[in-house]
C-alpha cells in the first residue's frame, strides 16, 4: 500500500482520538462483542480529562479536519434532523457553507492562472474575502467589466490526493464488510463507494457543473417554481466558474422568511413539486439539494420561488425506472401490496423466483402499522429503514441507479418538514404522479414513442445488413482430414457389425465391439 495512504490512515486515527469520537461510538447501545474492542485500545486504559467540545461540535470539527469526503457526509446528515439529536443536527448544518476558507491569495492566483488574465482585467470589482466556503470550493463576489454582478467559484487546492486516499480506505473497508457479512453484500458497498468516487471527482470539474446548471436553467426557464443562475461561459474554466449572483434568503433562515411573509406551506409543497418535476418530466434532477445550495427569492414571498445553486451532482433515470418507480409509489400509497411485490419482481429488484404472496405478506406486515398514522406524519426515511429488514429476507439488492434518487428524496423530505412540519408529502405528490401516468398513455406520447422507434429502423437495418454480410463472408471452416478417415472407418465397422449379426448371445461379442467402436468413430468431434 502506498505510503501516502498509510499516512492518511494515521491522520484519521489521530483526528478520531483528538476529538474523542470513540467516546461517541461507545456511548451508543452496542452489542457486547463490539464493546469488547474497548479492551484492546491502549488509550482507553488511561484516565482522560473531560472533552472541551460538546459531542456535536466534536463531530463537526472532526469532519472538517478530515476533508471534503467527510464534510460531504456531514452535509447529508444535516438534512435529516428527524434522525439526529438536535445538538448534532445544529452542528452538522454549519457544514453547508461555513467550512473554514482557504487563502484568498491562493484563490486569486488560481483564478488568474485559469482565466489567463489579471483579475483587474476581467472584473471591475473583486472581493478577496469569500462569500461562502464549502467542502469542495469557495466563492467570491465580483462585478464584470460589463456591469453584471457575479460570483466566482474556485476549487480548493490539493483535494485530489486527499480524496484518492480516503476513497482507497473506504474501498478497503467496503471489501472487508462484503467478505464478512452476506447481508452487507446485498447493499453492494463497493459499488456505492465507487459511485461516490465518481460523484465527488465530477464535482472537481466546474465545467461539468456549468453544463448541468445550464440544462437545469433551460428546464425551468420562466417557471415560478425554480430559478437557476446564468452561467458566463467565456470566463468559466475547469477550476473556476463565473455565474450570476443571486440575492435570496437561505432556506433555513426561518426568521427572515417569516419576517418577509413567506407562504411556508406553499414553499414546502413547491419543493416536493420541483423534485417530482425533475425526476418524472425531465429525468434530470439536482441530487445535492442540501440547505446550503437552496435559497428563496425575496421578490414575491406570497408566491415563493426557489433558487438552486451548485449543480455538480445531477441524477437521471431510465424510462423503465421512471415507470416502475411511479407505479410503485402509487400502488404503495393505495396499499396495493400485491402490486408492489409484483413490480419489484418484474423490475428485477428482487429475484424472479420470489414467491409473490410471501413478499406481499411481508410488505403488508411492515407497512400497515405505519399507515395507521396520518399521511403527513409518515416519514419516507423511517419507512425505508423498516423496509430494509423485510428486504433482507428476500435478497433485495440496492439499485445503484436509485441511490442518488433516494438521497435526494430524503433531502427534500427533511427540508419540507423543516419549513412546514404539517407537510403532507403524499397529497402533494399523488396528483402529479397520477397526471404523469395518464400522460404516458395519451396519443401524443404514444405517437412520440412510435416516432422514436421508426427513427431507429435505418440503424437497425444497417446493423442487420452488416451482420448478414459478415456471416456470408465467413469462409467455411477447413475440415480435418483425419475426421473423414475416422468417419469412413467407423462406418465400415458399423456395416461389418451388421453383417456379423447383433443377437444377444455370447458368441456375437465381436459384432457388438465393432458396433461400439464404429459409433465412437462416427460421432466423435474433430
pLDDT digits (tens, 9 = 90+) for 265-315: 999 889 888 988 998 888 899 988 877 789 999 988 899 999 999 888 888
- Considering only CA atoms, which of 156, 97, 453, 430 is closest in space to residue 288? 97
What nine digits make up the cell of 309? 445553486
**397: helix, strand or coil:** coil
Q: Is residue 140 part of a domain?
A: no
Q: Is residue 100 part of a domain?
A: no
282 and 426 share one domain: yes
DSSP label at residue 118: -
- Sheet of 248-250: strand order equals 226-227, 306-308, 294-297, 248-250
387 and 512 share one domain: no
Q: Find cell 476529538 and name the residue.
A: 19
For the chain, counts of helices (H) and of strands (E): 23, 11
Q: Is residue 318 part of a domain?
A: yes
Q: Is residue 218 part of a domain?
A: no
Catalytic residues: 288
Q: What is the DSSP track for 135-165?
A: SSEEEEEEEETTS-EEEEEEEPTTHHHHHHH
Domain range spanning residue 182?
160-200
What nine digits make up the cell of 458? 435505418
436 and 486 share one domain: no
Identity of the highest mean pLDDT range in 33-42, 443-452, 469-478: 33-42
310 and 370 share one domain: yes
439 and 493 share one domain: no
- Give the integer Cα–Cα distance in Å for 3 and 389: 40
337 and 434 share one domain: yes
pLDDT digits (tens, 9 = 90+) for 73-98: 777 666 555 556 777 877 877 776 56
The domain tally of the chain equals 4
Q: Is residue 238 part of a domain?
A: no
The residue-averaged pLDDT of 178-183 equals 64
Cut 0.85: pTM above it: no
34 and 170 share one domain: no
**What pLDDT, on a 0 to 100 scale, did the predictor assign at position 327?**
85
Q: Which of 396, 429, 444 is the last residue of a domain?
A: 444
325 and 407 share one domain: yes
**What pLDDT, on a 0 to 100 scale, did the predictor assign at position 323?**
84
**What pLDDT, on a 0 to 100 scale, did the predictor assign at position 157?**
86
Report the percentage of the chain scoring pLDDT > 70.
Answer: 68
Q: Is residue 135 part of a domain?
A: no
Q: pLDDT averaged over the chain?
A: 77
345 and 433 share one domain: yes
Characterize the bridge pairing of strands 306-308 and 294-297: antiparallel
pLDDT at 234 over 80: yes
Buried b (16+ CB within 10 A) or exposed e, 305-334: bbbbbbbbbbbbbeeebbbbbbbbbbbbbe
- Give the integer Cα–Cα distance in Å for 131 and 111: 16
Q: 478: Cβ–Cβ under 8 A, 6 or more apart, which residues? A: none
Q: Which of 175, 200, 225 is the last residue of a domain?
A: 200
Of 243-247, 338-342, 374-378, 460-464, the range with the lowest mean pLDDT is: 460-464
CB hemisphere CA count around 28 (13 angstroms): 9
Q: Is residue 458 part of a domain?
A: no
**What pLDDT, on a 0 to 100 scale, did the predictor assign at position 526?**
44
**237: helix, strand or coil:** strand
363 and 279 share one domain: yes
Buried b (16+ CB within 10 A) or exposed e, 496-514: ebeebeeeeeeeeeebeeb
pLDDT at 479 over 90: no
Q: Which of 70, 93, 116 is the last residue of a domain?
A: 93
47 and 180 share one domain: no
Q: What is the DSSP track for 30-58?
A: --HHHHGGGGG-GGGSS--PPPSS-HHHH
360 and 270 share one domain: yes
According to DSSP, the residues that pair with 250 across neighbouring strands are 295
- Determine phi and psi for 85, rounding to 5 degrees: -60, 150
Q: Is residue 399 part of a domain?
A: yes
Amino acid at each position: 500500500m502506498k505510503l501516502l495512504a498509510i499516512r492518511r490512515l494515521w491522520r484519521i486515527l489521530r483526528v478520531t482520538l483528538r476529538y474523542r469520537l470513540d467516546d461517541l461510538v461507545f456511548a451508543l447501545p452496542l452489542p457486547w462483542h463490539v464493546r469488547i474492542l474497548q479492551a484492546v485500545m491502549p488509550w482507553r486504559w488511561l484516565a482522560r480529562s473531560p472533552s472541551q467540545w460538546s459531542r456535536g461540535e466534536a463531530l463537526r470539527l472532526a469532519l472538517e479536519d478530515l476533508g471534503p469526503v467527510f464534510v460531504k457526509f456531514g452535509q447529508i446528515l444535516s438534512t435529516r434532523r428527524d434522525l439526529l439529536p438536535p445538538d448534532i443536527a445544529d452542528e452538522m448544518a454549519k457544514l453547508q457553507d461555513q467550512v473554514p476558507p482557504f487563502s484568498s491569495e491562493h484563490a486569486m492566483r488560481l483564478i488568474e492562472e485559469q482565466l489567463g488574465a489579471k483579475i483587474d482585467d476581467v472584473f471591475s470589482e473583486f472581493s478577496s474575502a469569500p462569500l461562502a466556503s464549502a467542502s469542495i470550493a469557495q466563492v467570491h463576489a465580483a462585478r464584470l467589466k460589463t456591469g453584471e454582478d457575479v460570483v466566482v467559484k474556485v476549487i480548493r487546492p490539493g483535494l485530489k490526493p486527499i480524496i484518492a486516499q480516503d476513497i482507497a480506505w473506504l474501498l478497503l473497508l467496503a471489501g472487508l464488510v462484503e467478505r464478512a457479512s452476506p447481508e452487507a453484500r446485498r447493499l453492494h458497498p463497493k459499488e456505492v463507494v465507487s459511485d461516490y468516487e465518481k460523484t465527488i471527482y465530477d464535482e472537481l470539474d466546474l465545467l461539468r457543473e456549468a453544463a448541468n446548471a445550464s440544462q437545469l436553467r433551460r428546464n425551468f426557464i420562466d417557471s415560478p417554481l425554480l430559478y437557476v443562475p446564468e452561467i458566463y461561459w467565456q470566463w468559466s474554466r475547469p477550476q473556476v466558474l463565473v455565474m450570476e449572483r443571486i440575492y435570496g434568503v437561505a432556506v433555513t433562515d426561518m426568521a427572515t422568511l417569516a419576517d418577509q411573509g413567506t407562504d411556508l406551506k406553499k414553499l414546502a409543497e413547491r419543493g416536493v413539486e420541483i423534485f417530482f418535476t425533475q425526476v418524472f418530466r425531465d429525468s434530470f434532477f439536482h441530487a445535492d439539494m442540501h440547505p446550503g445550495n437552496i435559497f428563496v427569492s425575496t421578490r414575491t414571498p406570497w408566491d415563493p420561488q426557489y433558487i438552486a445553486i451548485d449543480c455538480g451532482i445531477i441524477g437521471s433515470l431510465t424510462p423503465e425506472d421512471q415507470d416502475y418507480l411511479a407505479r410503485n409509489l402509487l400502488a404503495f400509497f393505495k396499499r396495493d401490496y400485491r402490486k408492489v411485490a409484483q413490480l419489484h419482481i418484474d423490475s428485477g429488484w428482487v429475484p424472479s423466483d420470489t414467491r409473490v404472496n410471501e413478499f406481499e405478506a411481508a410488505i403488508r406486515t411492515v407497512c400497515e402499522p405505519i399507515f395507521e398514522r396520518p399521511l403527513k406524519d409518515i416519514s419516507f426515511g423511517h419507512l425505508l429503514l423498516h423496509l430494509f429488514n423485510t428486504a433482507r429476507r428476500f435478497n433485495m439488492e440496492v439499485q445503484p441507479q436509485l441511490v442518488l434518487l433516494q438521497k435526494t428524496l430524503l433531502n427534500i423530505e427533511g427540508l419540507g418538514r423543516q419549513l412546514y412540519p404539517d407537510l403532507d408529502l403524499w397529497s402533494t405528490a399523488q396528483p402529479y404522479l397520477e397526471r404523469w401516468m395518464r400522460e404516458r398513455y395519451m396519443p401524443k406520447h404514444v405517437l412520440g414513442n412510435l416516432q422514436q422507434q421508426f427513427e431507429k429502423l435505418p440503424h437497425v437495418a444497417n446493423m442487420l445488413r452488416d451482420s448478414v454480410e459478415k456471416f456470408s463472408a465467413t469462409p467455411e471452416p477447413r475440415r480435418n482430414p483425419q475426421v473423414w478417415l475416422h468417419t469412413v472407418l467407423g462406418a465400415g465397422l458399423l456395416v461389418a457389425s451388421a453383417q456379423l449379426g447383433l443377437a444377444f448371445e455370447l458368441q456375437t461379442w465381436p459384432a457388438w465391439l465393432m458396433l461400439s467402436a464404429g459409433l465412437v468413430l462416427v460421432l466423435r468431434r474433430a
